Amino acid sequence: MARLILDGLSKTYPPSGKTPGKVAVHPARLEIQAGEFLVLVGPSGCGKTTLLRMIAGLEEVSSGSIQIDGREVRGVEPHERDIAMVFQNYALYPHMSVFENMSFGLKLRGVPKEEVRSRVESAAQTLGLLQPDNLLERKPKQLSGGQRQRVALGRAMVRQPKIFLFDEPLSNLDAKMRVEMRAEICRLHRKIGATMIYVTHDQVEAMTMADRIVVMNQGQIQQVGTPQEIYQKPANVFVGQFIGTPPMNILRGSIQQKGRGWEFQETTGAEGMSPFRLNFPAGLQKSLESLLVQEAVLGFRPEAVHLEECAGDGCFDAFVDLAENSGAESTLYLRTSQQRWGVRIPRIWDKSREGQTCRFYLNPSDLLFFDSKTGKLLEKIQAR
């Protein structure tokens, strides 16, 4: 278990030939607690692997510091950092057996034979590499993708490192195996309690595995928080739309006073569709007034909308363009003026009602407001 502090850590790849220089990671500050499971998530190219490789010592740092338990490790060789990294492509030696693959690193370090065997067997036991079939003498090519992945995990485990780094370790597996291995890694974390940093671009993996999530975009940390914080209070439009399927609905429009209350109206777009309108109750905070002069950007989760015959504040009509039933629940895609956006209802939807206009209820207190220019969450503005 180790505490890790990144302070002002950044990476700029220098220009080479015709390729211009590239800031892959802007100066970042991050504190990772001992024993924490931290997930780095973000779209392809946002700098996740670069950040991880800097921690591992595989990538030169452009600025900033990396401290492990209070000790600066910039300039310390990768193998002296007491960190193990598990890659997406496993990187197993094809000519070595599973046992040899797992024990190789320990042998190089001069760990006594008996100790090596006992560590390998213990890891193999935990990872199901001994039962139902004993796989220790097989070569990697005689294993399934999931089994290979476990060997790669085992190779990291036997080293008993202070910190585990995972770079998209499950992305080569099929969906079912991914779910199983996800649980396996979480169990492993509970059992050995090591500090783990896990990179993925899969937001479901991030939500289900993390103690805390770091959302990155274009080399910049967008938000750090528990899965719940990130989901309920995204720091900006990007985070709201990156986390959650379907993503957070973001509608742009204007707010006007109407009677004793207020009305949001979506900016008009496509022909023949009525723009989304929503009335808010009169008891609104004064803070909303600041949105009267600028474009208002409204955000809400798909499950905040309910299919309900209602009248008054929070009720609206919308055209159901498409419905997807997934067994226990359905996602309806509504089309208003600008775009198609999602609503999740906890039951099966009658597909024959596609193409109809239905009535919905959205509780105004579930609305978030974002700055129209910067996209940042306007924390002080609430519709109740």
Residues 256-295, mask of contacts with ligand ATP (x by CB under 6 A): ----------------------------------------
Output the residue with the shortest Cβ distance to Mg ion: 49
Q: Which one-letter amino acid corresponds to residue 235?
A: A
Q: Which is nearer to ligand ATP, 12 or 372 (CB)?
A: 12
Cα–Cα distance for residue pair 269/267, rounded to 1 Å: 6
- Residue among 3, 5, 7, 13 that touches ligand ATP (CB under 6 A): 13
Pick one of Mg ion, ligand ATP, none as the site partner of residue 55 (Cβ within 5 to 8 A by kind).
none
Instruction: Give the nearest distance from C-beta 20 to ligand ATP in angstroms.
Output: 9
Binding of Mg ion by 337 (CB under 5 A):
no
- Cβ contacts of 131 within 8 Å, gap of 6 or more: none
Q: Which is nearer to Mg ion, 49 or 222 (CB)?
A: 49
Angular region, 227: left φ>0, alpha ψ -120 to 50, beta rest: alpha
- Alpha helix stretches (DSSP H) within 253-335: none
Under 8 Å between Cβ of 153 and 98: no
Q: Indicate whether 10 belongs to the interface with ligand ATP (CB under 6 A).
A: no
**Pairs from 132-139 (Cβ < 8 Å, separation ≥ 24):** 135/98, 136/97, 136/98, 136/99, 137/97, 137/98, 137/99, 138/97, 138/98, 139/94, 139/95, 139/96, 139/97, 139/98
Q: Are 198 and 156 in contact (CB under 8 A)?
A: no
Which of residues 13 and 319 has its CB atom nearest to ligand ATP in the complex? 13
Environment class of 208 (CB within 10 Å of its CB; exposed 0-12, middle 13-18, buried 19+): middle
Cα 328 to Cα 243, 252, 300, 301, 341: the distances in Å are 21, 31, 22, 18, 20
Q: Of the two residues 10 and 103, which places its CB atom closer to Mg ion in the complex? A: 10
| Residue 200 in contact with Mg ion, rule: CB under 5 A | no
Q: Which positions from 34 to 73 touch Mg ion by CB under 5 A, shown as an x/- string?
A: ---------------x------------------------
Which of 171/287 has CB closer to ligand ATP? 171
The DSSP symbol for 46 reads S
Residues 154-213 that bind ligand ATP (CB under 6 A): 201
List the one residue from 28, 39, 46, 170 that touches ligand ATP (CB under 6 A).
46
> Which of 6, 37, 39, 48 is close enough to bind ligand ATP by CB under 6 A?
48
Residue 232 in contact with residue 215, Cβ under 8 Å? no
Give min distance, CB of 43 to ligand ATP, in A. 7
Q: How far apart are CA 164 and CA 197, in angstroms?
A: 6
Binding partner of 301, given ligand ATP, Mg ion, none, CB within 5-8 angstroms per partner class: none
Indicate the helix (H) or strand (E) that contains 201. none
Q: Total residues contacting Mg ion (rule CB under 5 A)?
A: 1
> Can you tell me which of 17, 20, 44, 260 binds ligand ATP, judged by CB under 6 A?
44
CB of 283: closest distance to Mg ion in angstroms? Answer: 48
Integer CA distances (angstroms), 231 to 46, 150, 299, 330, 380, in order: 20, 31, 12, 20, 18
Q: Which stretch binds ligand ATP (CB under 6 A): 43-51, 67-75, 143-151, 152-160?
A: 43-51
Determine if 215 is a binding residue for ligand ATP (CB under 6 A): no
| Identified binder of ligand ATP from the candidate list 35, 45, 78, 128, rule CB under 6 A | 45
Quote the CA–CA distance of 64 and 10 in Å, as a whole number. 6
Partner interacting with residue 201 (select from ligand ATP, Mg ion, none; CB below 5-8 Å by kind): ligand ATP
Q: Is 217 in the site for Mg ion (CB under 5 A)?
A: no
Tokens coding 188 = 């492993």
Nearer to ligand ATP, 182 or 201 (CB): 201
Going from the C-alpha of 238 to that of each of 215, 223, 233, 333, the distances in angstroms are: 9, 10, 12, 20
Q: Minimum distance from CB of 169 to ligand ATP (Å)?
A: 12
Does position 356 interact with ligand ATP (CB under 6 A)? The reply is no
Q: Which residues of this chain interact with Mg ion, rule CB under 5 A?
A: 49
Q: Which residues of this chain interact with ligand ATP, rule CB under 6 A?
A: 13, 22, 24, 42, 44-50, 201
